[in-house]
Chain A
Amino acid sequence: QKEVEQNSGPLSVPEGAIASLNCTYSDRGSQSFFWYRQYSGKSPELIMFIYSNGDKEDGRFTAQLNKASQYVSLLIRDSQPSDSATYLCAVALGGGNYQLIWGAGTKLIIKP
């Protein structure tokens, strides 16, 4: 059973601070890693994806991938109340399998 694990939260972070969200996965063959944001009652929207070990930055968001330790994280700098949402981690196995394995999500609350 291939798994993606996330702390369900809620994770409470003061406005302006860095929010750190973590995700671990079980399949060492996993090739692509995704972070989605989902507001309550809405559908998931892609924040960013990462394929290679290391950091990938996009505005206030940084994804970090460590394949040896099988974890991927998302940092949100200068957190805003509008960042309050559930963050979903997803993993693609690659090799012709196009499905994503989804984590249950971490609920993030940014306190003004």
Chain B
Amino acid sequence: EADIYQTPRYLVIGTGKKITLECSQTMGHDKMYWYQQDPGMELHLIHYSYGVNSTEKGDLSSESTVSRIRTEHFPLTLESARPSHTSQYLCASSERGTGQETQYFGPGTRLLVL
């Protein structure tokens, strides 16, 4: 089972602020993902990375950016938060190799933008 951590767990912030959501995993997984999920709704992939210095945008258009400078760390940044960014953000990771697509999730960050 993967150990994957997200901070903060809850964040209330005003419109226009810059925020960074942290995600770290200790399993050496090369692939990492960011999802956005509203209550009772489906998961939407917003960013993913297959390794250091590799980042891609997902299916959901997002105003956020990500970086992958270290294998274990995959932070997500919102340059200017807006009320429409209010949601739950979930980070996940998975191992290298065919048949290793199982994703393990962190506890999530609940973001409220006022």
Q: Mark A77-112, 1 if CB is under 8 A from B, else 0.
A: 000000000001010101010111011110000000
Binding site for A on B (CB under 8 A): 31, 33, 39, 41-43, 45, 48, 50, 58, 90, 94, 98-108
28 contacts between A and B (CB under 8 A): A32-B101, A34-B101, A34-B103, A42-B107, A43-B105, A43-B106, A43-B107, A43-B108, A44-B43, A44-B90, A46-B103, A46-B104, A88-B43, A90-B103, A94-B98, A94-B99, A94-B101, A96-B98, A98-B50, A98-B100, A99-B45, A99-B48, A100-B101, A102-B42, A102-B43, A104-B41, A104-B42, A105-B42
Is A32 within 8 A of B99, CB to CB? yes
**Main secondary structure on chain A at its contact with chain B?**
strand
Expressed in whole angstroms, the minimum distance between the Cβ of B11 and any Cβ of chain A is 15
In the bound assembly, the distance between CA atoms of A104 and B42 in angstroms comes to: 5
